[in-house]
């Protein structure tokens, strides 16, 4: 998220973690992923993908759609 957008909506990055906590985050992330079933992983990934797609600019979205699908549907 851009710094401007963060300021506009009041988002502030959490400050609970220290310099070495990225190792704990990776370990916990790996553990959570290991415990998930395939359908749960797919659902979680799809939620993140949709979030990213809905937060793209219209131009970037249309370009990505054209490149991935190979056609462009005009409104």
Query: Domain locations in the chain?
Result: 15-69
Per-residue pLDDT, averaged over 22-48, amounts to 92
Instruction: Give the residue from 33, 75, 39 showing the smallest Cα distance to 58.
Output: 75
Position 23 pLDDT exceeds 60:
yes
Q: What is the mean pLDDT of the chain?
A: 82
| Dihedral sign for Cα atoms in the order 15, 17, 18, 23 | negative
Res 39: pLDDT: 94
pTM: 0.53
Position 37 pLDDT exceeds 70:
yes
Tokens read off for 58: 């219209």
Res 53: pLDDT: 95
Helix (H, G, I), strand (E, B) or coil at 35: helix
């Amino acid at each position: 998220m851009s710094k401007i957008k963060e300021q506009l909506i009041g988002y502030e990055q959490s400050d609970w973690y220290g310099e070495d906590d990225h190792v704990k985050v990776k370990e916990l992330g790996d553990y959570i992923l290991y415990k998930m079933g395939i359908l749960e992983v797919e659902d979680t990934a799809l939620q993140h993908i949709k979030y990213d797609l809905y937060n793209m600019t219209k131009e970037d979205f249309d370009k990505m759609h054209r490149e991935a699908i190979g056609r462009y549907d005009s409104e």
